């Protein structure tokens, strides 16, 4: 047995009825390293994690931990063996304190009673050790998303984990919060904890990991040192073909000013002014909490502006509800695709037509055949991969779900479309498709206002970028002059 490897997955196969989610996967993971795991949605990453975490049991193959074959029949067994998972979605008990959350499922007893004092001391030690500024007595619901994520990590390592699996921990963090998390991840590695790091953001893989394993369609493609591959090469391994450009920016059909915001204030938003032309892709950059989503909401009639004016096509508008804004040709692809973007238990067909049902009415009555035909047209146009138009969207992958959200607003034929974090948690292949859709909409003269925490995406896709910080507009950059450094300089 090679003692270099803390964990070996040997010929792991996991089948579901009709699908081989993992096909003969063999991966070695070196002790005390950060090991990247990449692949498109549906490549088998989640299944692999679930096998390691004891949620699924493999049909074939074995897990060798520290040279000993083991079998985890439940998540508890995996945790006892020292494998912890920080899941993509934060799973904390919100009304409880930080310290209480760190000991969830692991309550310490003293003389048969809960040892609060001891647990608080231990929690405080962990927080101090990581150099974090978190009050262990604070209620978790009062923390920012980034801090909640860190509480998750602390919960995991408090379990004396030897292997920490992190499933897209960065999806909800801003760049600055990411730095803190990277520092923590590196600290943990230096303490001898082995980390398996899953991310769609390849920068992180290159910045953090020493080795990376690529999965595609349930198969292990390769495990290589990150130093031996470049970004494009890694993408090609993931998708199994030449990807072409990551940001296929094309110039849209730019016309006159279509949206003008003057001195808008509301809540944290202070005196925001900007103009957008039709056919333009206008980016809004800034950290989470900079007021980007709030700005979209105030323009779209979801929240009432306290002062300031909004002009659409030169006309001053006062949207009293979001429905007013929709009727006037505006639309919003909201940041939370699962909760806000789609009715998960409704079919692809019904989600597509939900905003603009008028198009499928005949004499006031829904025409099933018309609805089927029209929604299918849009699904085809957007390459939505779905078994049928009747499939509930909850069964689609993240990328395909986002395409259905876009289809819904294309179906409504909105002229001015706000996209709030349109590619969050979506794999590279689907991302590129969404970028091409943005191009196409701009070509058709539609106006795109893109809110994103991913700077490369804004730099790659936008004509102009407005930078916000704590509710203020800090500046505006043209695509030609914008760089990541310039944006960072503006938003801090």
Partner 1 sequence: MSTKATTLNSKKSVGALVKDWMSLVGIAILIVVFSIISYVKFGAQYFLTWSNWKNILLQSSTVAIVALGQSIMLLTGNFDLSLGRMVCLTSCVGAILMKNVGMSTGLAILIMFAIGLAVGAVNGFMVSYVGVPAMIATLGTQYICYGLAKLLTQAVPIANMPDSISFLGRDYIFGGVFPVCVLLMIIVYAIAQFVTSKTRVGRNLYAVGGSREAAFFSGINVKAYQFGTFLLGSVLATFGGLVLMSRLNSVAVTNGQNYEFDAVIGSIIGGVSLAGGKGRVIGTMFGCIFLNTLFNGFSQMGVDPFVQDVLKGVVLVLAVTLDVASNKKKS
Q: Which residues bind partner 1 (CB under 8 A)?
A: 16-19, 21, 41-42, 46, 217-218, 321-323, 326, 332, 334, 336, 339-346, 350, 354-355, 357-358, 361, 364-366, 385-388, 390-391, 394-397, 400, 408
Helix (H) or strand (E) run with residue 190 in it: helix 175-190
Residue with Cβ nearer partner 1 (107 or 366): 366
Q: How far is the CB of 256 from partner 1 (least distance, A)?
A: 27
Q: Give the nearer residue to partner 1 in terms of CB position, either 143 or 348.
A: 348
DSSP for 327-348, please give it: HTTEEEE-S-IIIII--TTSBH
C-alpha 415: how far from chain center? 26
Q: How far is the CB of 349 from partner 1 (least distance, A)?
A: 11
> Among residues 399 and 471, whose Cβ is nearest to partner 1?
399
Nearer to partner 1, 45 or 473 (CB): 45
Q: How far is the CB of 412 from partner 1 (least distance, A)?
A: 9
Nearer to partner 1, 79 or 216 (CB): 216
Q: Which two tokens stand for residue 95?
A: 């009304």
- The H or E element containing residue 109 is strand 109-110
CA 158 – CA 154 distance, rounded (Å): 6
Q: Using the minimum distance from each CB to partner 1, give the nearer residue, 181 or 330.
A: 330
The rounded Cα 416 to chain-centroid distance in angstroms is 24
247/243 Cα distance (integer angstroms)? 10
CB of 239 to partner 1, least distance (A): 14
**Closest approach of partner 1 to the CB of residue 277, in Å:** 25
Nearest to 182 by CA among 225, 153, 221: 153
- Written as six digits, the tokens of 431 are 């991302």
Q: How far is the CB of 397 from partner 1 (least distance, A)?
A: 5
**Smallest distance, Å, CB 460 to partner 1?**
25
Residues 173, 144: contact at Cβ < 8 Å?
no
Strands 416-420 and 194-198: unpaired
- Residue 142: which residues within 8 A CB-CB, separation 6 or more? none
Q: Which is nearer to partner 1, 157 or 417 (CB)?
A: 417
């Amino acid at each position: 047995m090679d003692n270099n490897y803390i964990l070996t997955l040997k010929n792991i196969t996991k089948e579901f009825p009709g699908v081989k989610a993992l096909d003969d996967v063999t991966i070695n993971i070196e002790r005390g390293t950060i090991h990247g795991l990449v692949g498109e949605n549906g490549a088998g990453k989640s299944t692999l994690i679930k096998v390691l975490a004891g949620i699924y049991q493999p049909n074939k193959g074995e897990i060798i931990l520290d040279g000993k074959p083991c079998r985890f029949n439940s998540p508890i067994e995996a945790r006892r063996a020292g494998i912890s998972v920080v899941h993509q979605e934060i799973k904390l008990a919100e009304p409880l304190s930080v310290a209480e959350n760190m000991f969830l499922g692991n309550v310490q007893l003293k003389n048969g009673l809960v040892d609060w004092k001891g647990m608080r001391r231990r929690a405080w030690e962990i927080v101090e050790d990581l150099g974090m500024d978190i009050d262990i007595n604070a209620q978790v619901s009062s923390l920012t998303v980034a801090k909640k994520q860190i509480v998750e990590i602390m919960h995991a390592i408090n379990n004396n984990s030897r292997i920490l699996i992190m499933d897209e921990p960065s999806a909800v963090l801003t760049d600055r919060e990411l730095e803190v998390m990277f520092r923590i991840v590196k600290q943990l590695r230096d303490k001898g904890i082995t980390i398996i790091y899953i991310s769609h953001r390849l920068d992180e893989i290159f910045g953090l990991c020493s080795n990376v394993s690529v999965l595609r369609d349930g198969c292990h493609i390769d495990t290589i040192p990150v130093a031996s591959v470049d970004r494009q090469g890694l993408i090609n391994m993931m998708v199994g073909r030449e990807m072409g450009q990551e940001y296929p920016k094309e110039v849209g059909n730019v016309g006159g000013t279509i949206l003008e915001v003057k001195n808008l204030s509301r809540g944290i938003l202070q005196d925001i002014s900007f103009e957008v032309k039709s056919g333009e892709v206008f980016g809004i950059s800034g950290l989470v909490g900079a007021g980007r989503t709030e700005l979209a909401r105030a323009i779209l009639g979801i929240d009432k502006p306290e002062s300031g004016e909004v002009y659409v096509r030169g006309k001053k508008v006062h949207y009293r509800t979001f429905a007013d804004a929709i009727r006037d040709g505006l639309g919003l692809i909201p940041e939370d695709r699962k909760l806000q973007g789609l009715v998960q238990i409704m079919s692809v067909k019904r989600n597509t037509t939900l905003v603009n049902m008028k198009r499928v009415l005949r004499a006031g009555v829904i025409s099933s055949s018309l609805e089927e035909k029209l929604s299918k047209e849009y699904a085809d146009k957007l390459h939505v991969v779905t078994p049928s138009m009747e499939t509930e969207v909850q069964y689609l992958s993240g990328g395909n779900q986002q395409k259905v959200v876009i289809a819904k607003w294309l179906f409504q034929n909105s002229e001015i479309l706000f996209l709030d974090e349109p590619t969050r948690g979506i794999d590279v292949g689907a991302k590129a498709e969404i970028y091409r859709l943005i191009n196409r909409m701009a070509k058709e003269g539609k106006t795109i206002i893109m809110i994103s925490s991913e700077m490369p995406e804004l730099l790659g896709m936008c004509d102009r970028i407005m930078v916000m910080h704590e509710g203020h507009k800090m500046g505006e950059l043209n695509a030609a002059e914008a760089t990541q450094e310039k944006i960072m300089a503006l938003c801090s």
